[in-house]
Structure 1
Amino acid sequence: MTFIHQTKLLTIAVIGALALTACNNIKPAHQAQHHDIHHSGAATESTAKVIEIASFTLKPNVSYTDFAKLDHTVEVDHVAKQKGFVSRESAMGKNGEWMVMVHWASLADADASMESFTKTPIAAEFMGSLDLDTMKMNRYTLVDK
C-alpha cells in the first residue's frame, strides 16, 4: 500500500471516529431521553391516548448540558409523578432548539399536569431558560386502529 493510500485510509478512519464521537455526544439530553418512568398508578404504553409535543429554543446563554440537567430534573421530580403519565422523550436540535414529547393517558391528565407544573418552584427556572417567543406546544389524540 502506498504512503498516500495509507494516509487517506487513516484520515477516513479518524473522520469516522470523530463522527461517531460527535453522534454519541449529541445525546446530552440524557441519551436522547426516552424515559419510560412508570410508577405506582402510572399508565402503561398501551393506555396512552394523548401525545404532547413542545418545541422551543433555549436562550443564548443556556447550554445544552445545563438545560439537559434541568429538563431531567423536571421529568423525574414532577412530570413522571403526575397521574396519567406514560413516557417522555427530550431531544436537542441545532442552534439551541429543543423538543419534548410526553405521552399521557388522557387529555385531562395532560391538562392537570400543565396546571400543576406552573405551580412548582422549578417551573420558573425551566421557563426562564427558554426563548418564550419560540415556544410551540401541541397535543394530539391517538387514533384507534
Structure 2
Amino acid sequence: MNIKLIAFAIIGLLVSSCSNTKSVLEVTTFKTKSLNNISVFNKLDAEVETNFTAKQPGFIKRQSGINENGEYVVLVYWESLENAKASMEKFMADPSVAKYASMIDGVSMKMSRYHIEDGFNAAHSNFVEVMSFKTKADIDMKAFDKTNKNVENGFTSKQDGFLQRVTGVNENGEQIVVVYWDNKSHSDAALQPFMNNKISKEFMGMMDQSSIWMGRYQKIKPELEY
C-alpha cells in the first residue's frame, strides 16, 4: 500500500461538513506488519502525534488504541476539511513519518469519516469502544436519532467509568458510536447490562444486523509492549 493512502488514514482526510457547526471524525483501523515491533511502533505513533499532527492548524484530538488481537484504531478529530487537506499534504512530504507508515499492513487498513456534533471531552480515557452500522432501510431517522440519544441518557451515561459518547454519520449513511471509558474493567462491566437493557434492545433493533462492526481498544502508551 502506498504512503499516500496511509497518509489519508493516519492524518485524517475528512469529508466536508454538512454545516459549519459540525466537525469530522475519522476512524482508521489496521494491523502492523509484525507483532514483534509493537513497542517501536507505539513510540513512533506518539511521535507522529506530538511532532506532526498536533501542530497542524485545525487539529482537535488524536487518540490511538490497540485490541487483544493487535489491531489498532486511530481516531482523529479536525475542525474542517481544509485543515485536514493541508495537514495531509504536509504529511506526505514529511520524511519523519515514513518509518511509521512503512510499518502498517496496508491490506488490513479500513477507514471511514463521520460528521459529528459532539466536541471531544474525554481526555482521561484509557479505553474506547467503536461501533459502526447502518440502520434498517425502513427506519424513521427522527425516531432513530431520539432512540440513539435515549441510549446515552437512559443507560450509558449512568454506568461507572463512563466519560463520553460520540455519535455521527458518514456520507453513505453509516452510523458511528464511540464510547470513551476510564478503563477496560468498567467497559466490560457495562456490556451485558447494555444487551439486557430495554432502550438498548430498541436501539439495536433499528440496525441492519449484517452491517454491525465493533472494536474495543486499550489506549496505547509508548512504553507498553503487547
Alignment TM-score > 0.5, same fold:
yes
User: How far off its partner does 1:63 sit?
Assistant: 3.4
Task: Tell me which residue corresponds to 2:123.
Answer: 45
Distance 2:182 2:211 in 1: 27
CA pair 106-129 structure 1, distance change in 2 beyond 3 A = same
Distance 1:26 1:95 in 2: 20
Distance 1:114 1:142 in 2: 19
Matched residue SS, 1:34:
coil
Cα RMSD for the two superposed structures: 2.7
1:136 aligns with 2:213: yes
User: How far off its partner does 1:95 sit?
Assistant: 3.7
Task: Tell me which residue corresponds to 1:96.
Answer: 173
CA pair 25-59 structure 1, distance change in 2 beyond 3 A = farther
Matched residue SS, 1:53:
strand
Aligned-residue sequence identity (percent) comes to 30
Does the 8 Å contact 2:21/2:117 carry over to 1? no
Distance 2:143 2:117 in 1: 15
Map 1:47-62; keep pairs closer than 5 Å.
48-62=125-139
User: How far off its partner does 1:101 sit?
Assistant: 0.4
Matched residue SS, 1:144:
coil
CA pair 94-65 structure 1, distance change in 2 beyond 3 A = farther
Task: Tell me which residue corresponds to 2:19.
Answer: 24
Task: Tell me which residue corresponds to 1:34.
Answer: 118
Does the 8 Å contact 1:33/1:88 carry over to 2? no
Does the 8 Å contact 2:154/2:199 carry over to 1? no
More helix by share: 1
AA matched with 2:116: A
AA matched with 1:98: Q
CA pair 25-128 structure 1, distance change in 2 beyond 3 A = farther
TM-score when scaled to structure 2? Answer: 0.45
Query: Runs of 5+ in structure 1 lacking a partner?
Result: 1-19, 38-43
Higher relative contact order (CA 8 A, sep 6+): 1
AA matched with 1:93: N
Distance 2:162 2:119 in 1: 11
How many residues align? The count is: 115
Larger radius of gyration: 1
User: How far off its partner does 1:25 sit?
Assistant: 9.6
Distance 1:90 1:134 in 2: 17
Task: Tell me which residue corresponds to 2:141.
Answer: 64
Matched residue SS, 1:52:
strand
Distance 1:133 1:25 in 2: 33
